[in-house]
Amino acid sequence: MKRNVILGMLASTAIFMSCSHDKVTASYQVIPLPQEITAKDGNGAFALTDRTVITYPSSNEALKSNAELLAGYISQLTGHKLKVTDTPSDENAIVLLDNLDASSPEAYTLDVTPTLITINGTTAAGNFYGIQTLRKSIPEKGDHDVEFPAVNISDSPRFAYRGAMLDVSRHFFPVDSVKKFIDMLALHNINRFHWHLSEDQGWRIEIKSRPRLAEIASKRKGTCVSHDFSTSDSIPYGGFYTQDEAREIVKYASDRHITVIPEIDMPGHMVAALSAYPELGCTGGPYEVWQRWGVSEDLLCAGNDKAYEFIDDVLSEIVDIFPSEYIHVGGDECPKVRWENCPKCQAKIRELRLKDDAKGSAEQKLQSYFMHHASDFLTSRGRKMIGWDETLEGGLAPGAIVMSWRGEEGAKEAARQGHDAIMTPTGYMYFDYYQTLDREGEPDAIGGYVPVEKVYSFNPTPDDMTDEEKKHILGVQANLWTEYIPEYSQVEYMELPRMAALAEVQWTDPSKKDYKNFTHRVPQLAEHYKANGYRYATHIFNVNGILTPNPETGTIDAVFSTVDDAPVYYTLDGSEPNVSSTLYEKPVQLTQSGTIKAVA
Q: What is the pLDDT of residues 389-438, one digit of tens each?
A: 999 999 999 999 999 999 999 999 999 999 999 999 999 999 999 998 88
How far is the C-alpha of 105 from the C-alpha of 161, rounded, in Å?
12
Closest among 239, 219, 129 to 176, alpha carbons compared: 239
Q: Are 198 and 265 in contact (CB under 8 A)?
A: yes
pLDDT confidence of residue 42: 83
Q: How many CB atoms lie within 10 A of CB 69?
A: 21
| 161-185 residue pLDDT tens | 999 999 999 999 999 999 999 999 9
| 57-86 residue pLDDT tens | 999 999 999 999 999 999 999 999 999 999
Cα distances from 100 to residues 97, 108, 119, in angstroms, run: 8, 7, 10
| 132-164 residue pLDDT tens | 999 999 999 999 999 999 999 999 999 999 999
Secondary structure class of 467 (helix, strand, coil): helix
Question: Does pLDDT of 582 surpass 90?
Answer: no
Residue type, 262: P
- Average of pLDDT values for 460-464? 97
| 366-380 residue pLDDT tens | 999 999 999 999 999
pLDDT confidence of residue 548: 42
Q: Are 157 and 133 in contact (CB under 8 A)?
A: no
pLDDT confidence of residue 579: 29
Q: Are 218 and 198 in contact (CB under 8 A)?
A: no
Where does 384-487 have alpha helices with state H? 409-416, 426-429, 452-456, 467-470
How far is the C-alpha of 328 from the C-alpha of 335, rounded, in Å?
19
- Average of pLDDT values for 540-545? 55
How far is the C-alpha of 204 from the C-alpha of 214, rounded, in Å?
7
How far is the C-alpha of 448 from the C-alpha of 436, rounded, in Å?
10
CATH architecture of 25-155: 2-Layer Sandwich (3.30)
Question: Does pLDDT of 262 surpass 80?
Answer: yes
pLDDT confidence of residue 24: 95
Using CB atoms within 10 A of its CB, is residue 406 exposed (0-12), middle (13-18) or buried (19+)?
A: middle
Domain 161-513 belongs in CATH node 3.20.20.450: no
Ranges of each domain in the chain? 25-155, 161-513, 514-600
Q: What percent of the chain has pLDDT over 70?
A: 87
Mean pLDDT of the chain: 89
Q: Are 156 and 102 in contact (CB under 8 A)?
A: yes
Closest among 261, 239, 264 to 250, alpha carbons compared: 261
Least confidently predicted of 36-45, 272-281, 588-597: 588-597
pTM metric for this prediction:
0.88
pLDDT confidence of residue 439: 85
pLDDT confidence of residue 549: 43
Residue 528 parent element (H or E): helix 515-531
**pLDDT-based confidence at residue 542 (cuts at 50, 70, 90):** low
Question: Does pLDDT of 600 surpass 90?
Answer: no
Overall residue count recorded for the chain in this entry: 600
| 475-491 residue pLDDT tens | 999 999 999 999 999 99
Question: Does pLDDT of 573 surpass 60?
Answer: no
**pLDDT-based confidence at residue 541 (cuts at 50, 70, 90):** confident
Question: Does pLDDT of 599 surpass 60?
Answer: no
Residue 145 parent element (H or E): strand 145-149
Q: How many CA within 13 A on the CB side of residue 212?
A: 10
